[in-house]
Amino acid sequence: MSRILITGAAGYIGRQLGERLAAHHQVLGLDVRVPEGLPFECRQGDIRDPALGRWMAEQGTRVVVHLAAVLEDSGDRARDHDIDVNGTRNVLEACVANGVEQLIVTSSGAAYGYHADNPPWLDEDAPLRGNPEFAYSDHKRQVEELLARYRHDHPRLGQLILRPGTVLGATTHNQITALFEGRRVLAIAGSDSPFVFIWDQDVVGAILHGIDTGARGVYNLAGDGALPIQRVAALLGKPLRVVPAWLLAGALAVGKRLRLTGHSPEKVNFLRYRPVLDNRRLKQEFGYRPRKTSEETFRFFIEQARARGRL
């Protein structure tokens, strides 16, 4: 039985992963908040804590699954950067110091960035150009650059990096799903804004596969196919509200200035130029085939969200 540490263990994916792993491994969780009822041991703590390495040594940790990250902008960029980038550096230092055999990190397709000249499908060799104006995207890029340096300097630490598309499951509720909850679906004129979805159980499944095989490498994590915004609206049964990019940017600028919205004009590119992930290497090289396609994942989400009164 491997001793596996999960950072962000009380989060959306961490809790599901820990429950699955606990049946066959000794699972240790770490999170800043530890809710009651977790089916595995979890310690309250911060990934930035210098004592992390000592705790890993005490536990004899062999595998680390690093899920802890700031998912939504807190408004404090320095704090979020400290958690995402410096926190990951602390995890890496602790892994190297304790001879950890495998580090699995959930990055994001956002690390590629939201750019007009992105290719129609992004494979893992595409440059990482996470947008500086989007904290989440920018920090994922910086984290991956940090990971690459450690792969070069510390090759004994096996790294498996997964770059998920938009994760959806039975209870998902976040800034992405909020786009689908209105009476209309917002679309940017002249852009298909395609989404690639990955079922949350496939995220867990891919991590489990990585642990079982001891795999290394970098892989996009997405279901087959992509859904343009027109298809998203059709599946939701909602009309499209098509807005010129310049008009939406202007409205957001005014709204931001008047404190009517937390979104800035740069958010237009987040909607307009979504990275579309090619999952060929995931299936052919890593050996994991997602159980749901992008459309099947979205249909499942719609069904579950409607049952909960969210759509």
CA distance 103 to 151: 11
Are 255 and 263 contacting, i.e. CB atoms less than 8 angstroms apart? yes
Question: What tokens were used for 9?
Answer: 């263990």
Strand pairing of 3-7 and 63-66? parallel
CA atoms within 13 A on the CB side of 225: 12
CA distance 311 to 304: 9
Q: Of the residues 12, 112, 114, 136, which is catalytic?
A: 136
CA distance 51 to 90: 10
CA distance 144 to 164: 13
Buried b (16+ CB within 10 A) or exposed e, 52-67: bbebbeebebbbbbbb
Q: Reply yes or no on whether 136 is catalytic.
A: yes
Residue 50: partners with Cβ closer than 8 Å, 6 or more residues away: 90
Tally Cβ neighbours within 10 Å of residue 205: 18
DSSP class per residue in 283-305: IIII----SS-HHHHHHHHHHHH
What amino acid positions are annotated as catalytic residues?
136
